[in-house]
Amino acid sequence: MGNSEIVLKYGCNPQQKPARIYSKNQPLPIKILNGTPGYINFMDAFNSWQLVKELKQATGLPAAASFKHVSPAGAAVGLPLSEVLKKSYFVEGLELSPIAVAYARARGADRMSSYGDWAAVSDIVDLPTATILKGAVSDGIIAPGYTDEALEVLKRKKKGSYCIIEMDWDYEPEELENREIYGISFEQKRNDVIIKEELLTNIVSNNKNIPPQAQRDLLISMITLKYTQSNSVCFVLDGQVIGVGAGQQSRIHCTRLAGAKADIWYLRQHPTVLALPFKKGAAQPERDNVIDQYLRDDVTPMEISGWSNALESIPQRLTAEEKASWLKSLTGVSLGSDAFFPFRDNIDRAAQSGVKFIVQPGGSIRDDIVIDACNEYDMAMACSSPRLFHH
């Protein structure tokens, strides 16, 4: 589509110069339609593009992702939104196309982490999608194309500096990939494993029932994990990621982090949270920050005093009992893990956030203990075999 090299302002940090991206054997498969994407922007762009392309191929549905620092804050396919989720995602009253819904869902998974994200969508960016992005704090987007009216809206974003990349859908990378660390060259075959339903057939739990919707969600979890910094665990519900635990050194910390994010995602839909008395004109990031603090157990008096900038009045906070009661209704969640569970503590934590379906590679010396834990909670668990580490 374009040149074989793009010179960049700097690398990961301003002191890392010179910097560039380049292709050795073919032109780069991109066109920069606006802005000047940087090193990390391109890392997010190419990782997120692979994720949404594979989601579209696996499900047949429009797909989107919201990336930060080379891991997804959220990913989703374009299934209809409930009125509650429209309000939670700040898209009430907007015209929503399937691809716009996919991005609203992807950004809605973890709105705090999606602040300043890189967006990726599998389909042509239309005006509804551009309208959502217009009101969001975002650094750039990659997509296979843009309508004229969507491009006009996006080019005005960030005072005209918003990064817009057009990606060649038909581009296929070479089989071997290379990188350097500390002057040493690494080479490996690309992780081109195809995530498909056949990976869910080895159901090792007593409960063998994984309905079609859960199969779809498990596939979404695995494709998301394929492009998430390891170790990683991913919670999915109704066609969208609701919590990702990325880049943790222990599996249980991945599960706790992902579970905590899933809990926050669900608590945002509590009627009391939806009714918070925000001042007219309070920006989305301000609302997201207040909601996050409102739901935290360790919020400080100083933080609470700051709410007056965004709220008409300081509301009574949800009690621990009210939160627990609400979270009990979260169920039917699917969970994927990029590698095996070494202990049952992951299953115990997953159960607290409504997990009923699990996919993981298997292969731990304690697989029997993990399976027994799933049976205690009547979960259905498939062992897929492929490990999905990503670094």
Q: Find the mean pLDDT for residues 327-343.
A: 97
Q: Which of 3, 31, 69, 375 is catalytic?
A: 69
What value, to the nearest 5°, has the Cα angle with vertex 248 and ends 246 and 249? 150
Distance from chain centroid for Cα 243: 8
69 is known as an active-site residue: yes
Residue 165 to residue 167: CA distance in whole angstroms: 6
**Residue 40's pLDDT is what?**
97
Look-up: residue for tokens 């360790």?
298
Residue 63 to residue 55: CA distance in whole angstroms: 6
Q: Find the mean pLDDT for residues 280-297.
A: 95
Decide: 278 and 287 in contact? Cβ < 8 Å.
Answer: yes
For the chain, list the strands marked E by DSSP. Answer: 5-8, 19-22, 30-34, 63-68, 71-77, 117-121, 138-143, 163-167, 176-181, 184-189, 232-237, 240-246, 333-337, 355-360, 380-383
Of 44-48, 249-253, 298-302, least confident by mean pLDDT is 298-302
Encode pLDDT of 90-105 as tens digits.
999 999 999 999 999 9
Q: Which of 231, 270, 356, 390 is catalytic?
A: 231
Of the pLDDT bands very low, low, confident and very high (cuts 50, 70, 90), residue 25 is confident
390 is known as an active-site residue: no
Same CATH topology for 7-16+24-167 and 191-266+327-383? yes
Kindly state the DSSP code that residue 204 receives in the 8-state scheme.
Answer: -
Q: Find the mean pLDDT for residues 352-356.
A: 98
Q: Which of 53, 56, 68, 390 is catalytic?
A: 68
Decide: 109 and 129 in contact? Cβ < 8 Å.
Answer: no
Residue 77 to residue 240: CA distance in whole angstroms: 6
Q: Find the mean pLDDT for residues 60-77.
A: 97
* Sequence-distant contacts of 167-175: CB under 8 A, at least 24 apart: 167/29, 167/30, 167/45, 167/49, 167/142, 167/143, 168/1, 168/29, 168/30, 168/144, 169/53, 169/144, 171/29, 174/25
Q: Does domain 191-266+327-383 have CATH number 3.40.140.20?
A: yes
Kindly state the DSSP code that residue 172 receives in the 8-state scheme.
Answer: -
In this model, does residue 2 exceed pLDDT 80? Answer: no
Could you give the percent of the chain with pLDDT greater than 70? 99
Distance from chain centroid for Cα 73: 4
Token duo for residue 135: 């009101």
Correct CATH for 7-16+24-167 of 1.25.50.10, 3.40.140.20, 3.30.930.10, 3.40.30.10: 3.40.140.20
Encode pLDDT of 172-200 as tens digits.
999 999 999 999 999 999 999 999 999 99
In this model, does residue 278 exceed pLDDT 70? Answer: yes
Length of the chain: 391
Decide: 6 and 20 in contact? Cβ < 8 Å.
Answer: yes
Q: Which of 24, 159, 189, 391 is catalytic?
A: 391
In this model, does residue 277 exceed pLDDT 90? Answer: yes
Look-up: residue for tokens 């309070």?
282
In this model, does residue 307 exceed pLDDT 80? Answer: yes
For the chain, domain boundaries: 7-16+24-167, 191-266+327-383, 276-317
Residue 311 to residue 290: CA distance in whole angstroms: 9
Bridge partners of 120? Answer: 65, 142
Residue 254 to residue 224: CA distance in whole angstroms: 14
Note if the bond before 277 is cis, omega within 30 degrees.
Answer: no
